[in-house]
Amino acid sequence: MGTAVLLLLPLFVLVVCLIAYPFYRAVWLSFTDKLVGYPERWVGLRNYLYLIHDDTFRTVVRNSFVFTVASVALKVGTGLLMALVLHATWRWRNFFRGLLLLPWITSTVIIALTWRWMFDAFPGRGFFNSVLLDASLISRPIAFMATPEGAMAAVVVANWWRGFPFFGVSYLAGMQSIPGELYEAASVDGAGSWRRFWHITLPGLKHVMLVTILLTFIFTINDFNIIYVMTRGGPGSATQVFATYSYEVAFNQLRWGRGVTISIFVVPLLIALIPLVSRYLLRERSA
Protein backbone atom coordinates (compact mmCIF):
# COMPACT_ATOMS: atom_id res chain seq x y z
CA MET A 1 0.00 0.00 0.00
CA GLY A 2 2.76 2.44 1.00
CA THR A 3 4.79 1.60 -2.11
CA ALA A 4 1.77 2.11 -4.35
CA VAL A 5 1.10 5.55 -2.85
CA LEU A 6 4.73 6.52 -3.33
CA LEU A 7 4.83 5.35 -6.96
CA LEU A 8 1.54 7.03 -7.81
CA LEU A 9 2.40 10.29 -6.05
CA PRO A 10 3.90 12.10 -9.11
CA LEU A 11 0.83 11.16 -11.15
CA PHE A 12 -1.52 12.44 -8.47
CA VAL A 13 0.36 15.72 -8.07
CA LEU A 14 0.13 16.24 -11.83
CA VAL A 15 -3.55 15.33 -11.97
CA VAL A 16 -4.59 17.46 -9.01
CA CYS A 17 -2.53 20.59 -9.81
CA LEU A 18 -2.65 20.65 -13.59
CA ILE A 19 -5.89 18.89 -14.56
CA ALA A 20 -8.40 18.80 -11.69
CA TYR A 21 -7.66 22.25 -10.27
CA PRO A 22 -7.73 24.00 -13.70
CA PHE A 23 -10.97 22.18 -14.46
CA TYR A 24 -12.47 23.44 -11.22
CA ARG A 25 -11.28 26.94 -12.14
CA ALA A 26 -12.91 26.55 -15.57
CA VAL A 27 -16.27 25.71 -14.04
CA TRP A 28 -15.94 28.63 -11.61
CA LEU A 29 -14.96 31.06 -14.40
CA SER A 30 -17.99 30.06 -16.44
CA PHE A 31 -20.21 31.55 -13.70
CA THR A 32 -18.36 34.88 -13.78
CA ASP A 33 -18.08 37.78 -16.21
CA LYS A 34 -14.24 37.66 -16.14
CA LEU A 35 -12.74 40.13 -18.60
CA VAL A 36 -8.98 40.26 -18.93
CA GLY A 37 -7.69 43.05 -16.68
CA TYR A 38 -10.78 43.22 -14.47
CA PRO A 39 -11.67 41.21 -11.36
CA GLU A 40 -14.34 38.60 -11.97
CA ARG A 41 -17.90 39.01 -10.68
CA TRP A 42 -20.33 36.19 -10.10
CA VAL A 43 -23.08 36.29 -12.74
CA GLY A 44 -24.70 32.91 -12.22
CA LEU A 45 -25.94 31.35 -15.43
CA ARG A 46 -25.73 34.52 -17.51
CA ASN A 47 -22.93 33.21 -19.79
CA TYR A 48 -24.88 30.02 -20.46
CA LEU A 49 -28.11 31.88 -21.19
CA TYR A 50 -26.31 34.36 -23.42
CA LEU A 51 -24.77 31.58 -25.51
CA ILE A 52 -28.00 29.62 -25.84
CA HIS A 53 -29.57 32.68 -27.45
CA ASP A 54 -26.50 33.65 -29.47
CA ASP A 55 -26.81 33.04 -33.22
CA THR A 56 -23.06 32.66 -33.69
CA PHE A 57 -22.91 30.02 -30.98
CA ARG A 58 -25.72 28.09 -32.67
CA THR A 59 -23.73 28.16 -35.88
CA VAL A 60 -20.72 26.94 -33.91
CA VAL A 61 -22.66 23.98 -32.51
CA ARG A 62 -23.93 23.08 -35.97
CA ASN A 63 -20.48 23.45 -37.55
CA SER A 64 -18.90 21.29 -34.86
CA PHE A 65 -21.34 18.48 -35.53
CA VAL A 66 -21.15 18.76 -39.32
CA PHE A 67 -17.34 18.75 -39.15
CA THR A 68 -17.23 15.80 -36.74
CA VAL A 69 -19.91 13.60 -38.28
CA ALA A 70 -18.65 14.15 -41.84
CA SER A 71 -15.03 13.46 -40.84
CA VAL A 72 -15.85 10.36 -38.83
CA ALA A 73 -18.15 8.93 -41.52
CA LEU A 74 -15.50 9.43 -44.20
CA LYS A 75 -12.83 7.88 -41.98
CA VAL A 76 -14.95 4.78 -41.29
CA GLY A 77 -15.69 4.28 -45.01
CA THR A 78 -12.14 4.82 -46.23
CA GLY A 79 -10.70 2.97 -43.24
CA LEU A 80 -12.74 -0.11 -44.13
CA LEU A 81 -11.66 0.13 -47.76
CA MET A 82 -8.01 0.56 -46.76
CA ALA A 83 -8.20 -2.45 -44.42
CA LEU A 84 -9.77 -4.59 -47.18
CA VAL A 85 -7.05 -3.55 -49.63
CA LEU A 86 -4.26 -4.26 -47.13
CA HIS A 87 -5.88 -7.53 -46.15
CA ALA A 88 -5.90 -8.61 -49.80
CA THR A 89 -2.26 -7.52 -50.25
CA TRP A 90 -0.13 -10.64 -50.30
CA ARG A 91 3.36 -9.10 -50.30
CA TRP A 92 5.00 -6.25 -48.43
CA ARG A 93 1.88 -5.74 -46.37
CA ASN A 94 3.85 -4.23 -43.48
CA PHE A 95 5.61 -1.86 -45.84
CA PHE A 96 2.34 -0.58 -47.29
CA ARG A 97 0.75 -0.38 -43.85
CA GLY A 98 3.67 1.78 -42.72
CA LEU A 99 3.48 3.96 -45.82
CA LEU A 100 -0.24 4.57 -45.47
CA LEU A 101 0.18 5.43 -41.79
CA LEU A 102 2.41 8.42 -42.58
CA PRO A 103 -0.34 11.08 -42.33
CA TRP A 104 -1.24 9.82 -38.89
CA ILE A 105 2.22 10.57 -37.43
CA THR A 106 2.65 13.91 -39.20
CA SER A 107 2.08 17.04 -37.14
CA THR A 108 -1.52 18.27 -37.43
CA VAL A 109 -0.30 21.81 -38.02
CA ILE A 110 1.76 20.66 -40.99
CA ILE A 111 -1.18 18.68 -42.34
CA ALA A 112 -3.40 21.74 -42.01
CA LEU A 113 -0.82 23.91 -43.77
CA THR A 114 -0.36 21.28 -46.48
CA TRP A 115 -4.06 21.15 -47.27
CA ARG A 116 -4.27 24.91 -47.15
CA TRP A 117 -1.79 24.93 -50.02
CA MET A 118 -3.47 22.04 -51.79
CA PHE A 119 -6.70 24.07 -51.95
CA ASP A 120 -5.02 27.47 -52.38
CA ALA A 121 -6.67 29.77 -54.91
CA PHE A 122 -3.31 30.75 -56.29
CA PRO A 123 -2.07 28.35 -59.01
CA GLY A 124 1.64 28.22 -58.06
CA ARG A 125 0.81 27.23 -54.49
CA GLY A 126 -2.52 25.45 -54.92
CA PHE A 127 -2.20 21.88 -56.13
CA PHE A 128 -5.73 21.51 -57.48
CA ASN A 129 -5.67 24.83 -59.28
CA SER A 130 -2.22 24.12 -60.76
CA VAL A 131 -3.22 20.71 -62.04
CA LEU A 132 -6.68 21.68 -63.31
CA LEU A 133 -5.33 24.76 -65.09
CA ASP A 134 -2.45 22.79 -66.56
CA ALA A 135 -4.89 20.21 -67.90
CA SER A 136 -7.10 23.04 -69.21
CA LEU A 137 -10.06 21.69 -67.26
CA ILE A 138 -10.66 25.16 -65.86
CA SER A 139 -9.82 28.51 -67.42
CA ARG A 140 -9.29 30.51 -64.24
CA PRO A 141 -8.31 29.52 -60.68
CA ILE A 142 -11.09 28.55 -58.26
CA ALA A 143 -11.06 30.02 -54.72
CA PHE A 144 -12.04 26.73 -53.08
CA MET A 145 -11.92 27.99 -49.52
CA ALA A 146 -13.67 31.32 -50.09
CA THR A 147 -17.20 29.93 -49.79
CA PRO A 148 -18.65 28.58 -46.52
CA GLU A 149 -19.28 25.13 -48.05
CA GLY A 150 -15.87 25.01 -49.69
CA ALA A 151 -14.08 25.95 -46.47
CA MET A 152 -16.00 23.31 -44.50
CA ALA A 153 -15.26 20.69 -47.16
CA ALA A 154 -11.56 21.63 -47.06
CA VAL A 155 -11.21 21.25 -43.28
CA VAL A 156 -13.15 17.96 -43.39
CA VAL A 157 -10.81 16.64 -46.10
CA ALA A 158 -7.72 17.62 -44.09
CA ASN A 159 -9.10 15.97 -40.96
CA TRP A 160 -10.14 12.89 -42.90
CA TRP A 161 -6.68 12.56 -44.48
CA ARG A 162 -5.02 12.81 -41.10
CA GLY A 163 -7.27 10.21 -39.46
CA PHE A 164 -8.26 7.52 -41.95
CA PRO A 165 -4.95 5.59 -41.78
CA PHE A 166 -5.51 4.92 -38.08
CA PHE A 167 -8.96 3.54 -38.87
CA GLY A 168 -7.52 1.41 -41.68
CA VAL A 169 -4.81 -0.08 -39.50
CA SER A 170 -7.22 -0.75 -36.62
CA TYR A 171 -9.73 -2.44 -38.94
CA LEU A 172 -6.95 -4.50 -40.53
CA ALA A 173 -5.98 -5.77 -37.08
CA GLY A 174 -9.65 -6.54 -36.47
CA MET A 175 -9.96 -8.45 -39.76
CA GLN A 176 -6.83 -10.45 -39.02
CA SER A 177 -8.32 -11.62 -35.73
CA ILE A 178 -11.44 -13.07 -37.38
CA PRO A 179 -10.94 -16.85 -37.59
CA GLY A 180 -10.48 -18.06 -41.19
CA GLU A 181 -12.73 -21.08 -40.58
CA LEU A 182 -15.73 -18.76 -40.48
CA TYR A 183 -15.06 -17.70 -44.06
CA GLU A 184 -14.40 -21.28 -45.20
CA ALA A 185 -17.63 -22.48 -43.63
CA ALA A 186 -19.54 -19.64 -45.28
CA SER A 187 -17.98 -20.42 -48.68
CA VAL A 188 -18.94 -24.08 -48.32
CA ASP A 189 -22.48 -22.93 -47.60
CA GLY A 190 -22.34 -20.97 -50.87
CA ALA A 191 -22.07 -17.41 -49.48
CA GLY A 192 -20.56 -14.96 -51.97
CA SER A 193 -17.92 -12.43 -51.08
CA TRP A 194 -20.42 -9.67 -50.43
CA ARG A 195 -22.41 -11.82 -48.01
CA ARG A 196 -19.25 -12.97 -46.27
CA PHE A 197 -18.26 -9.31 -45.80
CA TRP A 198 -21.72 -8.39 -44.55
CA HIS A 199 -22.29 -11.36 -42.26
CA ILE A 200 -18.77 -12.16 -41.01
CA THR A 201 -16.37 -9.26 -41.50
CA LEU A 202 -18.60 -6.41 -40.37
CA PRO A 203 -19.94 -8.16 -37.24
CA GLY A 204 -16.35 -9.19 -36.42
CA LEU A 205 -15.29 -5.55 -36.58
CA LYS A 206 -18.16 -4.24 -34.47
CA HIS A 207 -16.08 -3.73 -31.36
CA VAL A 208 -13.12 -2.00 -33.00
CA MET A 209 -15.48 0.15 -35.07
CA LEU A 210 -17.33 1.36 -31.99
CA VAL A 211 -14.08 2.19 -30.21
CA THR A 212 -12.53 4.08 -33.15
CA ILE A 213 -15.75 5.98 -33.85
CA LEU A 214 -16.27 7.03 -30.23
CA LEU A 215 -12.62 7.96 -29.64
CA THR A 216 -12.43 10.00 -32.83
CA PHE A 217 -15.77 11.64 -32.17
CA ILE A 218 -14.51 12.88 -28.79
CA PHE A 219 -11.26 14.23 -30.24
CA THR A 220 -12.80 15.73 -33.39
CA ILE A 221 -15.65 17.60 -31.70
CA ASN A 222 -12.93 19.39 -29.71
CA ASP A 223 -10.51 19.89 -32.62
CA PHE A 224 -8.66 23.17 -32.73
CA ASN A 225 -5.53 22.82 -34.84
CA ILE A 226 -6.83 21.99 -38.31
CA ILE A 227 -9.50 24.67 -38.35
CA TYR A 228 -7.43 27.36 -36.70
CA VAL A 229 -4.55 26.90 -39.11
CA MET A 230 -6.62 26.48 -42.28
CA THR A 231 -9.46 28.98 -41.90
CA ARG A 232 -9.36 30.66 -38.45
CA GLY A 233 -13.04 29.73 -38.32
CA GLY A 234 -13.86 31.68 -41.49
CA PRO A 235 -15.08 32.78 -43.91
CA GLY A 236 -17.31 34.61 -41.41
CA SER A 237 -18.18 31.92 -38.89
CA ALA A 238 -18.59 29.20 -41.50
CA THR A 239 -16.04 26.81 -39.95
CA GLN A 240 -16.00 28.10 -36.38
CA VAL A 241 -16.20 25.16 -33.94
CA PHE A 242 -16.25 24.90 -30.13
CA ALA A 243 -12.50 25.15 -29.53
CA THR A 244 -11.74 27.85 -32.09
CA TYR A 245 -14.72 29.96 -30.96
CA SER A 246 -13.71 29.54 -27.34
CA TYR A 247 -10.21 30.76 -28.26
CA GLU A 248 -11.63 33.66 -30.29
CA VAL A 249 -13.88 34.84 -27.45
CA ALA A 250 -11.27 34.34 -24.72
CA PHE A 251 -8.13 35.62 -26.41
CA ASN A 252 -9.35 38.07 -29.06
CA GLN A 253 -12.43 39.50 -27.34
CA LEU A 254 -10.76 38.92 -23.93
CA ARG A 255 -14.01 37.57 -22.41
CA TRP A 256 -12.66 34.66 -20.41
CA GLY A 257 -15.86 33.83 -18.59
CA ARG A 258 -17.80 33.42 -21.81
CA GLY A 259 -14.88 31.73 -23.58
CA VAL A 260 -14.66 29.06 -20.91
CA THR A 261 -18.42 28.56 -20.97
CA ILE A 262 -18.23 27.64 -24.67
CA SER A 263 -15.94 24.71 -23.94
CA ILE A 264 -18.00 23.71 -20.89
CA PHE A 265 -20.93 23.11 -23.26
CA VAL A 266 -19.08 20.05 -24.57
CA VAL A 267 -18.73 18.54 -21.10
CA PRO A 268 -22.17 16.84 -20.93
CA LEU A 269 -21.38 15.13 -24.23
CA LEU A 270 -18.02 13.98 -22.85
CA ILE A 271 -19.69 12.75 -19.66
CA ALA A 272 -22.02 10.67 -21.81
CA LEU A 273 -19.36 9.29 -24.16
CA ILE A 274 -16.25 8.81 -22.01
CA PRO A 275 -17.66 6.09 -19.72
CA LEU A 276 -18.88 4.26 -22.83
CA VAL A 277 -15.42 4.26 -24.45
CA SER A 278 -13.74 3.47 -21.13
CA ARG A 279 -15.99 0.48 -20.64
CA TYR A 280 -15.08 -0.94 -24.06
CA LEU A 281 -11.36 -0.29 -23.61
CA LEU A 282 -11.23 -1.61 -20.03
CA ARG A 283 -13.23 -4.69 -20.95
CA GLU A 284 -10.75 -5.76 -23.60
CA ARG A 285 -7.88 -5.10 -21.16
CA SER A 286 -9.26 -7.51 -18.59
CA ALA A 287 -10.24 -10.08 -21.22
Partner 1 sequence: MTGWKAAAIVGLAAFGLVVLVPFWWIASMSFKTYEQIQFAQSIYVPKPFTWENYTGLWLETRFPLWLRNSAITAVVVTALTTVISCLSGYAVARLRFPGRESVASLILILYLVPPALLFIPLYRVLAELGATNSLMALFLSYPTFTVPFCTWLLIGFFKALPIELEEAAMVDGATRVQALRRVLLPLAAPGIVASAIFAFTLSWNEFLYALIFIQDETMTTVPVGLNLLIYGDVFHWGQLMAASVITTVPVVALYMFIHRWMVEGLAAGSVKG
> Is residue 56 at the binding interface for partner 1, with CB under 8 A as the rule?
no
Q: Out of 211, 213, 234, 235, which residue is the one contacting partner 1 (CB under 8 A)?
A: 211
Site for partner 1 in 116-135 (CB under 8 A): 117-118, 123-125, 127, 130-131, 133-134
Residue ranges in 177-253 assigned as alpha helix (H): 180-188, 193-196, 202-204, 206-221, 225-230, 242-247
Q: Nearer Cβ to partner 1, position 70 or 256? A: 256
- Number of residues engaging partner 1 in binding (CB under 8 A): 100
Q: Out of 159, 170, 201, 237, which residue is the one contacting partner 1 (CB under 8 A)?
A: 170
Quickly count helices (H) and strands (E) in the chain: 17, 0
- What percent helix, strand, coil does the chain show, rounded to 5? 75, 0, 25
Whose CA is closest to 154, among 127, 184, 190, 136?
127
Binding region for partner 1 (CB under 8 A) out of 51-59, 65-73, 142-150, 208-216: 208-216
> Is residue 16 at the binding interface for partner 1, with CB under 8 A as the rule?
no
Q: Which residues, in sequence order, are bridge partners of residue 35?
A: 255
Contact 136, 222 (CB under 8 A): no
Residues 213-252, one symbol each (x = binds partner 1 by CB under 8 A, - = not), give: --x--xx--xxxx--xx------------xx--xx--xx-
Q: How far apart are CA 222 and CA 265, in angstroms?
A: 11
> Is residue 283 at the binding interface for partner 1, with CB under 8 A as the rule?
no
Site for partner 1 in 175-194 (CB under 8 A): 175-177
> Is residue 57 at the binding interface for partner 1, with CB under 8 A as the rule?
no
Contact 227, 233 (CB under 8 A): yes
